[in-house]
Structure 1
């Protein structure tokens, strides 16, 4: 079984007759041989090009010895923190340590360092001083320029400078990493690779020309939030592979240079990548620990496309994968489905068919494949572009083909579904087919908020779109005789959201009889537009001021208001309603969120909802009421 995986030990190398690897890949996650895991994907791509690749997963970073276990690589060391930013993986929005890590064996937390890319790169440099170091993955990609770091609450250097890496491969790195590998194999120096697309590097001699854009320096953005906003806007506007220019940011007598993004993968290229010989399971070394929990969600899922033109402002997918949709062919996805039906543990259920957004199956408009995505316009969100191609025909056809494969009982759609895109297509038939064949009792959607100026700042449709889609969804299920439900996700403390806005969301949840079990608190992760708003208090695209909830107590209030029925939240909800001037929501009436503080036995409301006269014994109260004081 081990021989079907990428090399992870000296014994694996000996079995293959290898005395040296071309690339040693340091991986912050456990090694899962599935295309949904970045290290496996890049490792398999390099292997398919004839390179010898070995993976060291979650090495003990307290010395350089674990980084030597596969020997000195012939060409370079590759480094990724894993599928998540290591700080986000470790800590919550309240900066508390998480007790579980889905990307580690058995879900064990604490198996990677903070700022893993930097730590791993420095240890690898200690181990082999003259081996080129290439960093990549989501952590490196989104920290490629000077950036705001929420966990230290300061502006940090480009991760290239702190890691002392030679090259940073940003975005989805299949094109750039192969070009880097080929250049190294030809004997080129790092400096001779500076024309490769999709990379960043540090130099003392920047390539200034009419094809470059110079951003405010690290020193400027660290000292001045307005300069930070300007720098972000420049970087934001040059992320298109068709018109994006080379970006340059001075930093302490050096220059961080970003070459234009790589061109989108063709359908043939995507098919070839996703049909590489992935085992679709964790490495056997993790069997004793019970495996790697993150695999369960994706093991029997199909990635049909990548990229997202929805561009939610709090999401970094547009900066990492791009706004131009790249998709696989129906034939490739059907072949993968057929192979999946023969895998151990497959019970007939395809858990998902999609990508960052399930129903974004093709480019937003034909123009994008020639001229790129519009620089200063969004395809969909608070407004919908009239040129948007909203057809769901190809996606529906794909789902039908997959569910007709022998051995498949049910095909679910569980990745994000943009209901405003469905509405723009005026496609009730799609909703009915979705409800009939592809919903497992619940469908997750993400309205995120209900106040328009907040959803505008999020890049989301307003709440009326959600309500209209809900009507369509409920109507389809009535016609089908099914009881199925929408599970909406809402976010607290996003830039622009005041305490009064949070109360409005709580009232909406009350009126819709929704009780969210989990609440998503906005986390300012590097690289997103919302994070730039959070740090600067400005919308970098417009220059308008934006309210930001920064105090931990206010963030706690906004979060608690979404779960106002939870007795543990009573005191903080009470305080929030008082501060928001909404004491009218404290009482016994049908519109009230919580009872008065001195609610107790013996004080029952009358038929009109008014509290009865206070009891003479109200001073002491019962044990049940005392806990709310």
Structure 2
């Protein structure tokens, strides 16, 4: 049984809670844009527990008020070591705004989903306030917002190039990526008495040097200087050329130190740490989390993001897909850090002891569910690799893509007598389950995994993300040909029919992505219609910092080839691309006919527009093409892409 929790089981958030622990002062104070949920999936809590494990007295100030007299920034006093600042689990602009730049109605990381508790550019806002009030106390920034804004970057919401976040935030040190390893070294050095301002050689950190200062010599590191912020402002192609260096060096085992000038200052980005070992990542999940929101929120309502992951298990970090629109590899890295089966099963047991657990795990997975325990067969080959993706345009011959460890993990979880069912809610890379694409793998292992997932771990719908149907768009996305989705659907349909499961396959697509033209979207609509899908919600491309697609969106140039790429940018372009998804709506049919006539695509017109006398789809339904069920319809529920990062 889970022990009865006391207020002291959470990190303190007030002076009163400090006194309960008998503390008069603190070593580190964390400021976060999220409400405080003491769970490993919430970065601020993970940061606090890591620091606590080093023997430090740590407190957290969740969602400080920036619209009053700023008392939240002073109520806990000065820390002995430093302030730590993060926007939370998401970039604050992604959290606050939609792809069309409308302010969101809800904030998933706030009680009751209430909005307005997280400022725009939260990391910068919090850090500047702290530097103004406590200029002598170091400020360390981290989390996804700081991580992805560590160099000159395009900011979609202001439609401008911004310098590295250290310039505007005035912070002293930036930790990028996952923070366990750099924090461990930082605390070790501070405990040895090394002055904070002298700490310049920790991997996975970035800092600014004044004019004339040089980065400390390191015989193990090479330096590479990218184009300055000012040069990027003058020329978009120059800005684009920076990204190839940034992405490759960030995903190398032995990356170079990146330098970039910004005004009179020099940005120094130290190389990444090696991928965390199994022992290291197990230790992170073994910290004494209560797994619960702080009791202060009991009367304010549930925290939506917590409710979503409350009974889920994270099995690994990282993603070697390298998708052009995704930030996961830029933050978590392309190499997979997996937990041991023992660690996962230990957490499963802890979940079963929670008082409101009903026997169902909502998700067992990671950024991509089926990358658990995957790594290079020969490490020396990975050590010299610069490819941003291990599976695009083809799967690397050195990548071990065995799905057997995952199949065994799922089966081990389900042996727990208190588990009624464990679901796979994370996205699955369906292409890695297609033998024609994943030629490295044992076809029988792929079949076993696919059948295990479909039979035992799907709650009505299996979500996968082909993203597009156009080969040129998919090539830019670093995604495989849509033909492999057809092959996967054949396998899905066979298992579905043989097992009499009546499951639905839900594909996700992106509109308005660079290189996607109006004709491509018409073809996407026609091809998915032919397959029996009627889409109700489609994700519009959102340019976020540190992705290939965002660099192309802003500059018009592909950072690897420096060749021009087509970008749908105007509201008209975006609305028209989106409109093709709703071919079944009567008000769109005249527009579709006129548009396709202009480009001479009568073939698509005949596929998209219903012929007179034929039975039409009803909104919210899809054609069931199962043998013996021609012409019948089954309901398709509305769905929404799960945001990652």
TM-score > 0.5 by shorter chain = yes
Please tell me whether residue 49 in structure 1 is matched to residue 65 in structure 2: no
Matched residue of 1:228: which SS?
Answer: helix
1:384 paired residue number: 395
Per-residue CA distance 1:45-69 (angstroms, 9 max, x = gap) = 1111111111111111134321112
Measured at CA, do residues 19 and 446 of structure 1 come closer, stay the same or move farther in structure 2, by a change above 3 Å? same
Measured at CA, do residues 607 and 127 of structure 1 come closer, stay the same or move farther in structure 2, by a change above 3 Å? closer
Please tell me whether residue 35 in structure 1 is matched to residue 51 in structure 2: no
1:478 paired residue number: 497
2:207 paired residue number: 201
Shift of 1:542: 2.0
1:534 paired residue number: 553
Kindly indicate whether the alpha-carbon contact (under 8 Å) linking 1:509 and 1:562 is maintained by their aligned counterparts in 2: no
Q: Across the two proteins, how many residue pairs are aligned to each other?
A: 597
Kindly indicate whether the alpha-carbon contact (under 8 Å) linking 1:21 and 1:74 is maintained by their aligned counterparts in 2: yes
Per-residue CA distance 1:290-314 (angstroms, 9 max, x = gap) = 1211012211111111011111111
2:29 paired residue number: 24
Per-residue CA distance 1:541-566 (angstroms, 9 max, x = gap) = 12232110011111111112112324
Q: State the distance in 1 between where 2:113 and 2:613 align.
A: 52
Measured at CA, do residues 273 and 370 of structure 1 come closer, stay the same or move farther in structure 2, by a change above 3 Å? farther
Unaligned runs of 5+ in 1: 596-604, 610-629
1:551 paired residue number: 570
Per-residue CA distance 1:21-52 (angstroms, 9 max, x = gap) = 11110000111111110001111111111111
Question: 566-575 vs 134-143, which deviates more?
Answer: 566-575
Q: State the distance in 2 between where 1:581 and 1:470 align.
A: 31
Per-residue CA distance 1:503-524 (angstroms, 9 max, x = gap) = 1111112212212222100001
Superposed, 1:132-281 pairs within 5 Å as: 132-204=138-210, 205-207=213-215, 211-240=222-251, 242-281=253-292
1:560 paired residue number: 579
Kindly indicate whether the alpha-carbon contact (under 8 Å) linking 1:26 and 1:57 is maintained by their aligned counterparts in 2: yes
Please tell me whether residue 14 in structure 1 is matched to residue 19 in structure 2: yes
2:101 paired residue number: 95
Measured at CA, do residues 566 and 104 of structure 1 come closer, stay the same or move farther in structure 2, by a change above 3 Å? farther
Kindly indicate whether the alpha-carbon contact (under 8 Å) linking 2:252 and 2:385 is maintained by their aligned counterparts in 1: no
Shift of 1:568: 6.4
Shift of 1:575: 6.4
Question: 541-550 vs 143-152, which deviates more?
Answer: 541-550
The structure number with the bigger radius of gyration is 1
Kindly indicate whether the alpha-carbon contact (under 8 Å) linking 1:310 and 1:380 is maintained by their aligned counterparts in 2: yes
Measured at CA, do residues 573 and 186 of structure 1 come closer, stay the same or move farther in structure 2, by a change above 3 Å? farther
Measured at CA, do residues 14 and 580 of structure 1 come closer, stay the same or move farther in structure 2, by a change above 3 Å? farther
Please tell me whether residue 341 in structure 1 is matched to residue 352 in structure 2: yes
Please tell me whether residue 418 in structure 1 is matched to residue 429 in structure 2: yes
Kindly indicate whether the alpha-carbon contact (under 8 Å) linking 1:77 and 1:131 is maintained by their aligned counterparts in 2: yes
Q: State the distance in 2 between where 1:456 and 1:562 align.
A: 21
Question: 442-451 vs 224-233, which deviates more?
Answer: 224-233
Q: State the distance in 2 between where 1:261 and 1:250 align.
A: 20
Kindly indicate whether the alpha-carbon contact (under 8 Å) linking 1:441 and 1:485 is maintained by their aligned counterparts in 2: yes
Unaligned runs of 5+ in 2: 1-5, 617-645
Q: State the distance in 1 between where 2:10 and 2:19 align.
A: 14
Matched residue of 1:467: which SS?
Answer: helix
Q: State the distance in 2 between where 1:556 and 1:155 align.
A: 25
Superposed, 1:200-599 pairs within 5 Å as: 200-204=206-210, 205-207=213-215, 211-240=222-251, 242-368=253-379, 371-372=382-383, 374-376=385-387, 378-423=389-434, 424=438, 425=441, 426=443, 427-566=446-585, 573=592, 576-577=595-596, 580-582=599-601, 591-593=607-609
Kindly indicate whether the alpha-carbon contact (under 8 Å) linking 2:583 and 2:608 is maintained by their aligned counterparts in 1: no
Q: State the distance in 2 between where 1:585 and 1:242 align.
A: 47
Q: State the distance in 1 between where 2:32 and 2:593 align.
A: 46
Matched residue of 1:22: which SS?
Answer: strand
1:601 paired residue number: none
Q: State the distance in 2 between where 1:293 and 1:369 align.
A: 43
Q: State the distance in 2 between where 1:347 and 1:64 align.
A: 42
Kindly indicate whether the alpha-carbon contact (under 8 Å) linking 2:522 and 2:604 is maintained by their aligned counterparts in 1: no
Kindly indicate whether the alpha-carbon contact (under 8 Å) linking 2:209 and 2:215 is maintained by their aligned counterparts in 1: no
Superposed, 1:114-125 pairs within 5 Å as: 114-125=120-131
Kindly indicate whether the alpha-carbon contact (under 8 Å) linking 2:14 and 2:76 is maintained by their aligned counterparts in 1: yes
Measured at CA, do residues 582 and 346 of structure 1 come closer, stay the same or move farther in structure 2, by a change above 3 Å? same
Shift of 1:365: 1.3
Residue number among 98, 103, 111 corresponding to 1:105 in the alignment: 111
Measured at CA, do residues 569 and 261 of structure 1 come closer, stay the same or move farther in structure 2, by a change above 3 Å? farther
Question: 262-271 vs 383-392, which deviates more?
Answer: 383-392
Q: State the distance in 1 between where 2:594 and 2:73 align.
A: 52
Kindly indicate whether the alpha-carbon contact (under 8 Å) linking 1:242 and 1:370 is maintained by their aligned counterparts in 2: no
Shift of 1:368: 4.2
Shift of 1:183: 2.5
Kindly indicate whether the alpha-carbon contact (under 8 Å) linking 2:200 and 2:216 is maintained by their aligned counterparts in 1: no
Q: State the distance in 2 between where 1:577 and 1:67 align.
A: 58
Shift of 1:378: 2.8
Q: State the distance in 2 between where 1:125 and 1:323 align.
A: 34
Shift of 1:606: 6.9
Matched residue of 1:160: which SS?
Answer: helix
Kindly indicate whether the alpha-carbon contact (under 8 Å) linking 1:301 and 1:351 is maintained by their aligned counterparts in 2: yes
Per-residue CA distance 1:284-340 (angstroms, 9 max, x = gap) = 111212121101221111111101111111111111111111111111111111111
Shift of 1:370: 7.2
Measured at CA, do residues 289 and 544 of structure 1 come closer, stay the same or move farther in structure 2, by a change above 3 Å? same
Q: State the distance in 1 between where 2:615 and 2:584 align.
A: 22
TM-score when normalising by structure 2: 0.89
Per-residue CA distance 1:477-526 (angstroms, 9 max, x = gap) = 22212111111100001111011111111111221221222210000100
Kindly indicate whether the alpha-carbon contact (under 8 Å) linking 2:31 and 2:126 is maintained by their aligned counterparts in 1: yes
